């Protein structure tokens, strides 16, 4: 009842000679003379997905106000990118959202290729999509595990990480690294797949398709406690989701049919046959269902890519030094957490004038401030699982 | 020799030996359970669990205790130090003394208290006091929430816990745990679990809530309130809290066994080992403990309101109904 007036209450204070505004703590007592309690959750908190701090105002166990504070992992990624040559920015993008490294690289390379009008070889496009979809699997499966971890079930995360481990083994064989790949390059990919790799990936996704339900989903789905903890929690309307600029599973779980892969096609996605998964409920359980179904869609895409993969070069011939013309480039990809977009501005030299990343973790985080008040304190954790932010993403 | 044994059976010695045995037992149950917990968790979660200290890691509890001994005992600056330090003791003592009335084998019981069950339920309630003291004495927001949750949960679940005991009391006609076990003699079909199945379920579930384990570990809630009432503890005070948690889990299994699974009674009469029937008691208790751990590592945690709903709207009515059925049945048969 008091939420609205409280949230925007500020007071003016003088800090080093300058007046500034800050949130004040009003002395409002309810009819019993009871005060609310301020609580600081994070940055050192096990379920804050890294380094997030939530300033909470609690009325008993009910959250009255929730202010996310970010910036504990800020590394000046965009500023560093302004001092590096175009290809040297790619390893930095790996460090953004460290659960979607391939998508970050892909987004940046798309932006630079848009700037320079580069045509890349078809085989490279197929390999990029293959890697991105594997990355989506490697992100969605542990995400669901994290959701369960935050609800108190410790086991599913380890089963999720087993799958991630197997995918990382594939990545290691292909790219030479398990997380920080530096594999997708401007004009193609670093190297062709090892000879036996298409077969290995095929066997892996076949195996995953067969065992995913038995080994992972059955551990979670149908559990009465899981349903009661997630159904109706974090419920939001379509309008609200669009208004907040959400993308990815948090948006699709409300029923908005939007996917960058289909609506703003890039790479070879127009040639592939896949469904955009949506759900009507718009709560935590719906986001769980969306993630699980997207895993099956990714498997479907990977199989098509492996079937259609052409032969040929994997890298366009760009010369030794990239010197894009003056102008701007823009690349957007559908990452596991939502739309990842990169804007690159060039002044004609060999280092970018400006690089900007639009990371889904950062944008989706707004949801906390809007949705959390009114929920119980333990409901913050499943809502964090719905957003599934990654601290490398929201702090660039 | 027999004179010596008889002397030990006389008063001050009997008391001292029992006391030492109980403390030894409590600490060992706690130590073995911490190890078992991590091993079971390991095998459920596709990993090995502790396997470095000693063969297959069996000495891990010793290493843990040694480590905790060497750690500094911190108490927060704002803490209410006496309450803060007394809380682990208030938690540990109830978990230790209840073993006194548990019959391990035909003659192995410290004291055959004729109000044994009353002693059990009243002493368990003291554990809630320890939780509140710990949470309140720490003066931390997280621990305060944990303490309030703990108090609400443990008091609420005491009700179904006690109601589910009443069926056994009606059938036995006695509050003594020794009599409860003796009444279940003559094969596993005489155990109370069959006639008291809903009561067994109620007792088992309320027992999990009483010892604060997932899905009812809200006072701890490590992903929400990061340890809850024990968030500020370190070193040996923390070890004492952990020991009392594990000891009370062992205790709850032992009492479940005693009340519903026939205590030390063998499943068939020809498997009667006389004084060695403690094997049966240990086996049944271990199975119940294992199911506790199995549940702990398989399901998520409930929310406070759902926990209360479940306790008051499901467990209490269920046990009341079955109490009526038991009472009516006993009346008709006699």
Question: Which residues of chain A neighbour B141 with C-beta distances below 8 Å?
Answer: 37-40
Chain centroid to CA B69: how far? 25
Answer whether B44 touches A (CB < 8 Å).
yes
Q: Say if CB B201 and CB B113 are below 8 A apart.
A: no
DSSP bridge pairs for A57? A38, A65
Task: Return the closest-CA partner of residue B120 out of B37, B210, B47.
Answer: B210
Tokens at B1, concatenated: 């020799």
Taking residues B132-153, what's their average pLDDT?
Answer: 87
Q: Say if CB B134 and CB B91 are below 8 A apart.
A: yes
Task: Return the closest-CA partner of residue B258 out of B158, B324, B169.
Answer: B169
Question: How far is residue A260's CA from residue B207's CA, in Å, rounded to a whole number?
Answer: 51
Which of A35, A146, A378 is most worth mutating to test chain B (most B CB atoms within 10 A of its CB)? A378
Question: How far is residue A382's CA from residue A371's CA, in Å, rounded to a whole number?
Answer: 12
Answer whether B231 touches A (CB < 8 Å).
no
Confidence of residue A241 (pLDDT cuts 50, 70, 90): confident
Which of A40, A54, A61, A147 is most worth mutating to test chain B (most B CB atoms within 10 A of its CB)? A61
pLDDT at B297 over 70: yes
Is there a domain that residue B142 lies in? yes
Phi, psi values for residue A64, rounded to 5° = -95, -40
Answer whether B295 touches A (CB < 8 Å).
no
Say which residues have a Cβ less than 8 Å from residue A356's Cβ, sequence separation at least 6. Answer: A78, A342, A343, A344
| A28-39 pLDDT tens trace | 556 666 777 888
Confidence of residue A26 (pLDDT cuts 50, 70, 90): low
Confidence of residue B110 (pLDDT cuts 50, 70, 90): confident
Task: Return the closest-CA partner of residue A260 out of A364, A360, A185.
Answer: A360
Using a 10 angstrom Cβ sphere, with 0-12 exposed, 13-18 middle and 19 or more buried, the burial of residue B109 is: buried
Is there a domain that residue B260 lies in? yes
Cβ within 8 Å, pair B300-A380? no
Confidence of residue A1 (pLDDT cuts 50, 70, 90): very low
| Number of separate domains in chain B | 1
pLDDT at A2 over 50: no
Cβ within 8 Å, pair A229-B301? yes
| A154-197 pLDDT tens trace | 888 888 888 899 999 999 999 888 888 889 988 888 888 888 88
Is there a domain that residue B152 lies in? yes
Question: Strand A338-346 relative to strand A327-335: parallel, antiparallel, unpaired?
Answer: antiparallel
Answer whether B37 touches A (CB < 8 Å).
no
| A105-135 pLDDT tens trace | 999 999 998 888 888 898 999 999 999 999 9
Name the minimum distance, in Å, from the CA of B145 to any CA of chain A. 8
Kindly report which listed range (A91-100, A155-164, B250-259, B271-280) carries the lowest average pLDDT score. Answer: B271-280
Confidence of residue A345 (pLDDT cuts 50, 70, 90): very high
Give the model's pLDDT for residue A118. Answer: 87
Question: Which residues of chain B neighbour A223 with C-beta distances below 8 Å?
Answer: 299-300
Residue with tokens 């409002």: A28
pLDDT at A6 over 60: no
Is there a domain that residue B16 lies in? no
Q: Say if CB A100 and CB A272 are below 8 A apart.
A: no
Is there a domain that residue B328 lies in? yes
Kindly report which listed range (A185-199, A259-273, A346-360, B103-117) carries the lowest average pLDDT score. Answer: B103-117
User: What integer best gives the mean pLDDT of chain B?
Assistant: 85
Q: Enumerate chain A positions whose Cβ falls within 8 A of a Cβ in B.
A: 37-40, 45-47, 58, 61, 148-155, 158-159, 162, 219, 223, 225-226, 228-229, 376-381
Domain that holds residue B251: 71-333
Q: Say if CB B243 and CB B92 are below 8 A apart.
A: yes
- % helix / strand / coil in chain A, to the nearest 5? 45, 15, 40
DSSP bridge pairs for A329? A344
Question: How far is residue B105's CA from residue B264's CA, in Å, rounded to a whole number?
Answer: 6
Task: Return the closest-CA partner of residue A374 out of A11, A56, A142, A120.
Answer: A56
* Backbone dihedral region for residue A17 (phi beyond 0: left; psi -120 to 50: alpha; all else: beta): left
Give the model's pLDDT for residue B291. Answer: 92
Is there a domain that residue B23 lies in? no
pLDDT at A89 over 60: yes
Cβ within 8 Å, pair B301-A225? yes
Task: Return the closest-CA partner of residue B198 out of B89, B322, B110.
Answer: B322
Tokens at A159, concatenated: 């089963």
- Among B45, B226, B300, select the one facing A152 at the smallest CB separation: B300
Give the model's pLDDT for residue A23. Answer: 56
Name the minimum distance, in Å, from the CA of B270 to any CA of chain A. 41
Confidence of residue B175 (pLDDT cuts 50, 70, 90): confident
Give the model's pLDDT for residue B269. Answer: 77
Is there a domain that residue B164 lies in? yes
Taking residues B292-305, what's their average pLDDT?
Answer: 88
3-class state of residue A75 by DSSP: coil
DSSP tally for chain B: helices H, then strands E: 13, 0
Taking residues B118-131, what's their average pLDDT?
Answer: 87
Say which residues have a Cβ less than 8 Å from residue B123's Cβ, sequence separation at least 6. Answer: B94, B97, B98
Chain B residue at shortest CA distance from A57:
B141
| A244-272 pLDDT tens trace | 888 989 999 898 888 888 888 888 888 88
Is there a domain that residue B102 lies in? yes
User: What integer best gives the mean pLDDT of chain A?
Assistant: 85
Give the model's pLDDT for residue A30. Answer: 62
Give the torsion sign (CA, A259, A263, A269, A274).
positive
Taking residues B102-128, what's their average pLDDT?
Answer: 82
Question: HSE (CB half, 13 Å, CA atoms) of B135?
Answer: 26
Residue with tokens 């848009």: A114
Kindly report which listed range (A148-157, B83-92, B263-272) carries the lowest average pLDDT score. Answer: B263-272
Confidence of residue A13 (pLDDT cuts 50, 70, 90): low
Cβ within 8 Å, pair B45-A223? no
The b/e string for A207-219 (b: 16+ C-beta within 10 A; e otherwise) is ebeeebeebbeeb
Task: Return the closest-CA partner of residue A41 out of A395, A380, A383, A385.
Answer: A380
| B3-44 pLDDT tens trace | 776 766 677 777 788 788 888 888 888 888 889 888 998 988
Kindly report which listed range (A179-188, A205-214, A302-311, B16-25) carries the lowest average pLDDT score. Answer: B16-25
Phi, psi values for residue B171, rounded to 5° = -70, -35
| A286-296 pLDDT tens trace | 999 999 999 99
pLDDT at A24 over 80: no
pLDDT at B313 over 70: yes
Q: What are the Cα distances from residue B294, in Å, to A157, B36, B263, B288?
A: 16, 11, 22, 10
Q: Say if CB A66 and CB A369 are below 8 A apart.
A: yes
Chain B residue at shortest CA distance from A219:
B298
Confidence of residue A152 (pLDDT cuts 50, 70, 90): confident
């Amino acid at each position: 009842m008091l939420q609205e007036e409280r949230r925007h209450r500020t007071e003016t204070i003088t800090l080093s000679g300058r007046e500034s505004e800050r949130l004040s703590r009003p002395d409002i007592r309810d009819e019993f003379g009871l005060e609310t309690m301020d609580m600081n959750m994070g940055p050192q908190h096990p379920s804050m997905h890294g380094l997030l701090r939530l300033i909470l105002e609690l009325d008993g166990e009910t959250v009255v106000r929730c202010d996310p504070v970010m910036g504990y992992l800020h590394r000046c990624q965009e500023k560093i990118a302004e001092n590096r040559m175009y290809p040297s920015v790619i390893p930095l993008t790996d460090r953004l959202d460290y659960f979607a490294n391939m998508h970050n690289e892909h987004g940046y390379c798309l932006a630079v290729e848009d700037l320079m009008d580069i045509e890349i070889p078809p085989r490279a496009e197929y390999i990029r999509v293959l890697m991105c979809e594997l990355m989506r699997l490697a992100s969605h499966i542990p995400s669901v595990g994290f959701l369960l971890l935050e609800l108190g079930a410790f086991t599913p995360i380890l089963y999720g990480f087993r799958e991630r481990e197997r995918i990382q083994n594939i990545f290691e064989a292909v790219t030479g690294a398990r997380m920080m790949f530096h594999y997708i390059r401007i004009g193609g990919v670093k190297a062709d797949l090892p000879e036996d790799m298409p077969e290995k990936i095929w066997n892996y996704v076949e195996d995953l398709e067969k065992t995913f339900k038995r080994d992972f989903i059955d551990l979670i789905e149908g559990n009465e406690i899981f349903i009661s903890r997630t159904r109706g929690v974090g419920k939001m309307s379509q309008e609200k989701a669009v208004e907040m600029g959400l993308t990815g599973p948090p948006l699709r779980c409300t029923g908005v049919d939007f996917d960058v892969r289909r609506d703003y096609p890039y790479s070879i996605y127009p040639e592939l046959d896949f469904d955009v998964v949506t759900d009507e409920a718009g709560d935590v359980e719906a986001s769980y269902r969306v993630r699980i179904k997207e895993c099956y869609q990714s498997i479907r895409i990977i199989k098509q890519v492996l079937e259609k993969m052409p032969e040929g070069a994997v890298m366009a011939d760009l010369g030794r030094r990239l010197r894009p013309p003056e102008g701007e480039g823009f690349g957007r990809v559908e990452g596991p957490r939502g739309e990842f977009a990169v804007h690159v501005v060039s002044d004609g030299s060999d280092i970018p004038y400006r690089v900007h990343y639009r990371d889904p973790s950062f944008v989706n985080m707004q949801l906390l401030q809007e949705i959390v008040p009114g929920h119980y304190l333990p409901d913050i954790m499943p809502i964090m699982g719905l957003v599934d932010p990654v601290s490398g993403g929201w702090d660039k | 020799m027999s004179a010596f044994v008889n002397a030990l059976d006389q008063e001050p010695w009997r008391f001292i030996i029992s006391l030492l045995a109980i403390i030894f037992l409590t600490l060992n149950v706690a130590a073995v359970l911490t190890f078992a917990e991590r091993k079971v968790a390991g095998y459920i979660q596709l990993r090995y669990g502790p396997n470095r200290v000693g063969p297959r890691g069996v000495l891990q509890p010793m290493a843990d205790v040694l480590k905790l001994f060497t750690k500094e005992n911190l108490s927060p600056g704002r803490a209410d130090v006496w309450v803060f330090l007394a809380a682990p003791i208030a938690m540990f003592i109830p978990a230790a003394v209840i073993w006194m009335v548990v019959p391990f084998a035909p003659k192995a019981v410290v004291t055959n208290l004729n109000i044994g069950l009353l002693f059990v339920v009243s002493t368990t309630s003291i554990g809630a006091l320890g939780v509140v003291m710990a949470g309140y004495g720490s003066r931390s927001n997280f621990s305060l929430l944990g303490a309030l949750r703990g108090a609400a949960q443990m008091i609420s679940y005491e009700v179904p816990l006690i109601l589910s005991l009443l069926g056994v009391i009606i059938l036995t006609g006695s509050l003594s745990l020794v009599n409860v076990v003796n009444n279940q003699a003559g094969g596993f079909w005489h155990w109370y679990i069959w006639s008291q199945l809903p009561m067994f379920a109620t007792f088992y579930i309320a027992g999990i809530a009483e010892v604060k384990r997932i899905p009812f570990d809200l006072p701890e809630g490590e992903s929400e309130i990061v340890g809850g009432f024990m968030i500020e503890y370190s070193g040996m005070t923390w070890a004492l809290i952990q020991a009392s948690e594990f000891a009370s889990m062992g205790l709850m299994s032992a009492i479940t066994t005693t009340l519903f699974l026939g205590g030390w009674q063998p499943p068939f009469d020809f498997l009667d080992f006389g004084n060695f029937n403690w094997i049966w008691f240990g086996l049944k208790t271990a199975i119940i403990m294992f199911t506790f751990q199995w549940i702990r590592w398989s399901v998520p945690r409930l929310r406070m309101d759902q926990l209360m709903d479940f306790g008051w709207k499901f467990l209490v009515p269920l046990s009341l109904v079955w109490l009526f059925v038991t009472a009516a049945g006993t009346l008709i048969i006699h």
